[in-house]
Every structure is written in structure tokens, then in C-alpha cells.
């Protein structure tokens, strides 16, 4: 049954489904292994309504990541999602500080938005560096090792487990931002910078959800399976 498909499988089959799942606030990245039925039950949502909205989308475009090897997927994540974060995180910091200084007295929730966003950035930037300098090179080495891996058996499990934990924390902070901003609802009579901040945070949330989905539900399972297979061949 369609409702018994996992959220991750739904996104892999139709990348445009991320829009619908975001609208219904269904976590397809850290919570991608849950079925649509279970995820909807937790939020009191009718899964048939979600499926109906997904069916209205264009599903003819195969997701880019569906045809990528683990090595190619690592390159894609770096050039797409990491590059986006390296550019966007500093910009949003400056924007958040500016908006809070001007509008904070009348919209005190902005102080919590700024503090939560600052914590998110402090978590994400070292996370990106750990992936770029430790985990991703290990994945490339594993991909290059047909029968003689340069990465010892099981070693790659540890950084992957750490990344999953850090993904969960990023998801929690993004959820706090969404709650604090009431879904990035822009108050009346605010400046263009206020609008730009909330639009930027909403975009950051969507991009990070897809980023985490690609790692948690596509890249990491493929890498762990490849690691196990290489070790079987070499043992």
C-alpha cells in the first residue's frame, strides 16, 4: 500500500514530493525510515490527503541522486549543499542580527530566532568540515577500493554514526526555528530585511532537510553496504 512506503522512498521516487512533505511538516530526512502512515498518525494528518497532493506533482523528473554512485553523491553534496551552506550561513547571521536589532523591541521572538540560528550555525559549520575532511575522503577511498580497501573494516561506522547524531540535533534546531516563527509567518508592516530573513531561513530549512535525507537515507546505507561487501570479498 502507498501509505506503507517510507517517507525516504517517496522522496526518492519523486523529488518534488519534498514540497508536499514540507508543507505537512513530515520529517523525511532524520525521520525518513518511518512509513507515511505512521508519520501522519503522529501528526493527526490524513495520509490520503498527502498522497493526493503528491499525485498532483510532476513526477517525470528522476532525482539527480538516483543515478549517482557513492563517490559521485559525495561530490554532489559538497558542490550543492555544502557550497550553499558555506555561502548562506554568514549571510543569514548578518541579516538576523540586523533584523533583531531593529525589530526586536516589538517582536521579542526575534531574539530567540537569532540565538537558535546562531546555535545551528555553530553546529553546522564544524559538521561540514568533519564531513569534508574526514568522512567524505573515507567514502572516496572506499569507493576506489574494489578489493583492497584503504579504510579498515568497520572504521567508517563511527563517523557515520556521529554525523547521524549531529543531523538529529540540526533537525531539532530547525524545528525550534519553525515553531518560534510560526512557520516563518511574516508580521504586517515589517521591512524588506525581515521578509528576506524569514524567506532565507525557510529556504535553509528545506535545503538542509534534503541534504540530510541524501546522507541519512541514500549515501550512508549505500556506503555501509559497500563496506560490508568489500570486506566479504577481501576476507
CA distance 210 to 216: 10
Q: Which of the pair, 58 or 110, is modelled with greater confidence?
A: 110
CATH of domain 2-55: 1.10.3910.10
pLDDT at 230 (0 to 100): 64
The pLDDT score that the predictor gives to residue 190 is 86
What residue spans define the domains of the chain? 2-55, 68-234
| pLDDT of the residue at 226 | 83
CA-closest candidate to residue 180, choices 202, 165, 196: 202
Question: Sorting pLDDT into bands at 50, 70 and 90, what band is 204?
Answer: very high
Cα-only R_g, the chain: 19
Q: What is the pLDDT of residue 234?
A: 52
User: What does residue 35 show for φ and ψ, rounded to 5 degrees?
Assistant: -75, 160
Predicted pLDDT at 1? 55
> Residues 151-169: what's their mean pLDDT?
88
Write down the pLDDT at residue 146: 53
- What's the pLDDT band for 152 if we cut at 50, 70, 90? low
In this structure, the chain runs to a length of 235
75-131 pLDDT, tens digit per residue, is 999 999 999 999 999 999 999 999 999 999 999 999 999 999 999 999 999 999 999
pLDDT at position 155 is 83
For helices 136-144 and 220-234, angle between their N-to-C axes, nearest 10 degrees: 40
pLDDT at 89: 97
Q: What is the pLDDT of residue 151?
A: 60
Which pLDDT score, from 0 to 100, does residue 14 have? 79
| Grid cell at residue 151 | 579504510
* Arithmetic mean of pLDDT over the chain: 87
- pLDDT(61) > 70: no
Contacts of 44 (CB under 8 A, 6+ apart): none
Greater confidence, 22 or 146?
Answer: 22
Amino acid at each position: 500500500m502507498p501509505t506503507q512506503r517510507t517517507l525516504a522512498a517517496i522522496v526518492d521516487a519523486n523529488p518534488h514530493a519534498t514540497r508536499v512533505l514540507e508543507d505537512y511538516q513530515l520529517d523525511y530526512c532524520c525521520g525518513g525510515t518511518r512509513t507515511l502512515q505512521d508519520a501522519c498518525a503522529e501528526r493527526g494528518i490524513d495520509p490520503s490527503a498527502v498522497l493526493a497532493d503528491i499525485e498532483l506533482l510532476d513526477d517525470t523528473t528522476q532525482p539527480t541522486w538516483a543515478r549517482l554512485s557513492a563517490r559521485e553523491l559525495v561530490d554532489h553534496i559538497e558542490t550543492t549543499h555544502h557550497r550553499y551552506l558555506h555561502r548562506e550561513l554568514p549571510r543569514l547571521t548578518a541579516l538576523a542580527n540586523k533584523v533583531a536589532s531593529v525589530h526586536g523591541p516589538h517582536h521579542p521572538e526575534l531574539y530567540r530566532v537569532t540565538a537558535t540560528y546562531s546555535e545551528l550555525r555553530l553546529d553546522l559549520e564544524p559538521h561540514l568540515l568533519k564531513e569534508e575532511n574526514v568522512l567524505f575522503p573515507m567514502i572516496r577511498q572506499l569507493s576506489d577500493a574494489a578489493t583492497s580497501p584503504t579504510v579498515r573494516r568497520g572504521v567508517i561506522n563511527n563517523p557515520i554514526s556521529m554525523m547521524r547524531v549531529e543531523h538529529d540535533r540540526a533537525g531539532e534546531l530547525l524545528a525550534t526555528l519553525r515553531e518560534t516563527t510560526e512557520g516563518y509567518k511574516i508580521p504586517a508592516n515589517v521591512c524588506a530585511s525581515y521578509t528576506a530573513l524569514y524567506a532565507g531561513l525557510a529556504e535553509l530549512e528545506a535545503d538542509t532537510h534534503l541534504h540530510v535525507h541524501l546522507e541519512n537515507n541514500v549515501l550512508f546505507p549505500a556506503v555501509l553496504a559497500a563496506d560490508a561487501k568489500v570486506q566479504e570479498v577481501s576476507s
